[in-house]
Structure formats: structure tokens, C-alpha cells
Amino acid sequence: MPVNSHVLQLQDVARRFPGRTAGAPPFTAVRNLSFEVGEREFVSIVGPSGCGKSTLLSLVAGLDRPSEGTVSLHGVEVSGPSSRVGFMLQKDLLLPWRTVLHNVEFGLEARDMPASDRRERAMRELKRCRLTEFADRYPYQISGGQRQRAALARTLAINPDVVLLDEPFSALDAQTKLVLQKSFAGTIADSGLTTLLITHDLSEAVAMSDRILVMSDGPGRIVEEINVGLPDRDNPISRLATQRASEIVKHLFHALHIDNRLDA
């Protein structure tokens, strides 16, 4: 897909943490991280457990600062949390005492947006996520898949430039996961957002992405970049039916040395 400009850029990023015990050396989570994500581009990051994927997302979200290097959004260094970055975690984190509509409005309240404007924008995103009829229900009254769609609507309502997805489908059953992958892909493509997805699901990475970045064992660094090059990004199921998708999944399987781990 055409990429017009760089929205997100990491340059020589490292993150070190103090040793876990007195006198212990610092722990390096990631190092030498450099990559860019373009406008409207969907990039997935895969890697072994403990390679620093979640650390990377925290740095991009401004929840943490790099020990070295820079993280930039539209050429401006990220120095803290920003409304230009939407962050979806594995759990939906909907507030149980709020209706779906009021959950979607939550991020807008902090901006002192007038109530009528909040409602209009929240209903727009609920419609986009096909949840209009559930606006007045509480989280316990809807399914897990609907809760994740509500969490996406809440993320989109703040009108971010970049959406960060931290394994948003990992807790769902296989059938619901496939349905949501297609729903999310279509919604994100329609919204024109730049997206960074962390996932352990190699098929998911192929199905939803324009590019895949492969991280090494920790300290994590980018060791490979794969241009997916498949059509119909907003229809993951059809993408996975192609021979090219199968070849990429197989390549990732070997790149991550999963075969060696299974034989161990």
C-alpha cells in the first residue's frame, strides 16, 4: 500500500532497568531499536516471550522513556502520554458501572468536551464498530468479542494518529478471534489509522499487516523485516487463504526458531 510519510519513528532506542537485587547489573529489555511506521500503515511485531515487545509499546505510548535513543511522533520526540496515541491492551478494561456508551465517552470527558459532542462522537464510533444497539448495556451484558469492539470504539473516539494493539485477541476463542480480526481490520482501514500490533499469533500478523518486524531474544532488537504484500488487508480471512500467506507463516516459524524449541 502507498505510504505518504513517516508517522512514528524509533532511532537507536534502548531501555535498561535497574538490577532486581542490590548490586545486580542493569537489565536491558531492548537495544538498537530503529524502525519507522508510515501513514495508514499496519505493522505487526512478533518475537519470543521476554524479547521486550510490551516495553516497546510502553515507549511508543509515552508511558516510559528510553535509556538511549529517541521515539518520535510526526517528528516530535515523545516525552509522555499523548492523546495522539491510542493504546488497547489484552483486557478490555471497560468500567463495569458504566454503560457501553459511557465507556466510549470516558476518554473524551478528560478533555472537557461538551456532553452533546461526546455523545455524537461516541455513537459514531459505536456505529463504526457495529455496537449501536448495545450502547445502553453494561459490560457484563455483552460478549467478550463485543467488549473488545467497545474497547476499540473507546480508543478510536479520542481520534488518535496511532493505535497500539497489545494482543487484543489473545483471550478469545478461535472463532471469535477470526471474526474480530476481520472486524478490527476493516474498522482500522476505514479510519485511516497508523497501527502497531504486538502478537504471538503468526497467522494473525500475516493476516492483518502490511509489514512484520521480527524481534530477537532479549535484549530485543529488530532482526528481520517482512513486507507482506497481500491484497485485501481489511479481509484477513481471504488473505490467509493464499499460498503467499502460508509461506510467510512458515518463514516466521523458522525465523523465531520455534521448530528448535519444539524439538528441545
pLDDT digits (tens, 9 = 90+) for 113-136: 899 999 999 999 999 888 999 999
CA distances (Å), 216 to each of 18, 46, 75, 262, in order? 21, 9, 27, 18
Average pLDDT of span 47-51 = 89
- The pLDDT score that the predictor gives to residue 32 is 93
Average pLDDT of span 167-190 = 82
- The pLDDT score that the predictor gives to residue 258 is 61
- The pLDDT score that the predictor gives to residue 262 is 43
* Beta carbons of 13 and 215 less than 8 angstroms apart: no
The rounded distance, in Å, linking the Cα atoms of 114 and 71 is 33
The answer, as to whether pTM is greater than 0.85, is yes
The rounded distance, in Å, linking the Cα atoms of 238 and 225 is 23
Give the confidence band of 69 by pLDDT, cuts at 50, 70, 90: very high
CA distances (Å), 68 to each of 47, 61, 138, in order? 21, 16, 44
Average pLDDT of span 44-70 = 93
Average pLDDT of span 62-88 = 92
Percent of the chain with pLDDT over 70: 96
CA distances (Å), 107 to each of 83, 148, 256, in order? 9, 16, 37
Give the confidence band of 263 by pLDDT, cuts at 50, 70, 90: very low
Alpha-helical regions (H) of the chain:
53-61, 100-109, 115-128, 144-157, 174-191, 202-208, 236-240, 243-255, 258-263
The vertex-81 CA angle with 16 and 201, nearest 5°, equals 65
Average pLDDT of span 201-229 = 92
CB count within 10 Å of CB 1 equals: 13
Average pLDDT of span 51-74 = 94
Sign (positive or negative) of CA dihedral 123, 139, 53, 180: negative
CA distances (Å), 217 to each of 12, 136, 223, in order? 17, 45, 10
Average pLDDT of span 21-35 = 88
- The pLDDT score that the predictor gives to residue 3 is 45
